[in-house]
Chains A and B, each alone.
Chain A
Amino acid sequence: MDATESAAVLARARQGDSEAFRALVERHSRSVFRLAFRMTGNEQDAEDVVQESFLRAYKQLGRFESRANFGTWLYRIVSNCSVDLMRAKQARHDQSRGDSLDEALDLPATDLPNPERQAQSAEIQRRVQGALAALSPLERAAFTLRHYEGRSIEEISRTLGLGTSAAKHSVFRAVKKLRAALAPLRSQES
């Protein structure tokens, strides 16, 4: 789909043509899933975010500025859907959880008979996943956008609808928590 065709499809979708919206869904689904998975760290959650994001996009398409980039606009919706889903999950979990960071990092040691290095790498990954899971939804979203997606603080602030300072501090808090959580691994390595 070239730029002209893309603009035509978008224009039709904005006028309510569901076939045109379908073309947009088919075109963007994979990239939406990739971002949703990085944000949530969970395949099923990512699938839920993909569907919710497109439903939200369809609902709000009338308000989309045709001069804007649809991919960027959708990216913003996906990021916010991910934050909403993580918040909802966290609210449910918080009722039965104490200190989430400690609990998330209290992982059982691997018992697979792999070579030491492989086991260490798996341990690092498990620790990292645990540490990411312990971040607040906003911290995780901001960190994902900065660290995995390479977005600048300015872009993160626009994507998540935050002030620049709030976006920056979400990233800083995430990095601090991750440093604390992964410090034992760093000392093992050094």
Chain B
Amino acid sequence: MKHFSEDELTLYYYGEGRRRENVERHLDECAACAKVYREIAGTLAMIAAPDVPERGDQYGLEVWQRIRHRLPERDGSWLGQWFRWDRLSVAAAAAALVLVAFLAGRTSRDTAAPPAPTTLPVNTVADGDAGDARQRILLTSVADHLDRSERVLTDIMNAPNSGDISTAQGWADDLLTTSRLYRQDAVEAGERSVATVLDDLERSLLEIVHSPSRISAADLEQIRRRIDAAALLFKVRVMSDELRQREQPPAPSSPRTSTRKVS
């Protein structure tokens, strides 16, 4: 009778190995191999998967905030390098186009309707009013969100040097989820500058949420210093004001152009 090795029995335990029927039959007949198999199975049954510590819904964002400033240079194939040059030329062309559009806008300011802010995506005729309305709703919502965030940041900046910040943390936690959604909307709408401010804001909100509720003076000072260093309050205020201005529907076209033609 040919016995099976420990290794073969280990494979059998894990459902692998080529002669499974043979092993099975042998274990029914051979007490020695059956004993070894029971030992292997008994040992491995003791080794339960460890409880993995919970990570919340914001975990991905936390990881991103930790690594985003450490992203290394990309390894690229020669094709990838070629595409980099290609992208550079596209970027240069885009920059030239923006410059031309800017100059054209300045020279025709007196004769045309006020130009749309440069950060607004250009709506096609097909997008029509529905697109404008959606854009205005987004702008209003983000502006409101920035106002609420500004209040939380101001509370943190003016809080006593140590003590309980749990109320501000609760608000920050609520704002964090919304902020992510608005940032994604902003990215999709091509609102890069809005997305950048929201990204900076998320970082500070995250830091506030993850600080101990009874914060030490040193920790609080560190949060404040980061808010200051990023000029975050200033950016949030400026962006909010800009969005409020852009919320206004464009003024109806004046008949100035035709009047000038007549004169």
Interface residues in chain A, defined as those with a beta carbon under 8 Å from any beta carbon in chain B: 15-16, 18-19, 21-22, 25-30, 33-34, 37-38, 41, 43, 50-51, 54-55, 58-63, 124, 128-129, 132, 146-148, 152-153, 168, 171-172, 175-176, 178-179, 182-183, 185-186, 189
Closest A residue to B5 by beta carbon equals A172
Residues of A contacting B126 with CB < 8 Å?
none
A34, A51, A124, A168: the one within 8 Å of B63 (CB): A51
Closest B residue to A29 by beta carbon equals B60
Residues of A contacting B39 with CB < 8 Å?
179, 186
Residues of A contacting B71 with CB < 8 Å?
18, 21, 55, 58
B76, B83, B187: the one within 8 Å of A19 (CB): B187
Closest A residue to B57 by beta carbon equals A30
Contact, CB under 8 Å: B76 / A62: yes
8 more contacts with CB within 8 A, not counting A21-B71, A58-B74, A175-B10, are A16-B87, A19-B195, A43-B53, A58-B72, A128-B47, A148-B49, A152-B16, A185-B46
Shortest Cβ gap from A82 to chain B (Å): 14
| Size class of the B contact interface (CB-based, 8 Å) | 35 or more
* B44 adjacent to chain A (CB < 8 Å): yes
Contact, CB under 8 Å: A26 / B46: no
Give the total number of A-B pairs whose CB atoms are below 8 A apart.
114
Cα A55 to Cα B195 in complex, Å, equals 22
* B22 adjacent to chain A (CB < 8 Å): no
Residues of A contacting B43 with CB < 8 Å?
175, 178-179, 182-183, 186
* B263 adjacent to chain A (CB < 8 Å): no
Q: A147-B44, A178-B43 are in contact. Are A38 and B50 (CB under 8 A)?
A: yes
